[in-house]
Amino acid sequence: MAHGPKPRSYHQKTPAKMRRLALRSALSSRASEGAVYAVAPLDWETPRTKAAVALLDAMGLKGKTLVVMERASGVAQRSFRNIPTMRIVEARYITPYDVLWARDLLFCAGTLEIVEGVGRERESLGARAS
């Protein structure tokens, strides 16, 4: 064919403000349900899944749990990764899908400030460019 059909992508990017609003409303929804927990820094010396399971049992967390860490590499991350109902994410990469997937959210120390500031950094960069 001389002028046949050409492949076209209909993909549209979601605006940044809408993504930030979705994350805020998902976190707000989980907080109103009482499903948000915060713990002190997890400073285990060796990666032990038993220690992670003991922590979850002590807090009464069962089922799908999202663990939000400052940095996803380390002893605590290796302790949680063997639990099938866990998802581990760095605070700066948290998405509304992760929040809505989990029944409970477990924030390690210092991550709440990072999650609050995720959208603000980009807003301030955009304001300077204008």
Please state the rounded mean pLDDT for residues 41-68.
88
Average pLDDT over the chain, rounded to whole? 85
Two structure tokens written together for 100: 């809505």
* pLDDT on residue 17: 92
Q: 3-state DSSP call for residue 81?
A: coil
Domain residues of the chain, as ranges?
A: 34-129
pLDDT at 120 over 80: no
Q: Which two tokens stand for residue 30?
A: 């989980």
pTM, full prediction:
0.77
Kind of pairing between the strands at 36-39 and 86-90: unpaired
Which runs of consecutive H residues, i.e. helices, occur in 11-110?
16-32, 49-59, 75-80, 96-101
Convert the pLDDT of each residue in 70-102 to its tens digit.
Answer: 876 688 888 888 899 999 999 888 999 999 999
Cβ contacts of 27 within 8 Å, gap of 6 or more: 36, 99, 105, 115
CATH hierarchy code of domain 34-129: 3.40.1370.10
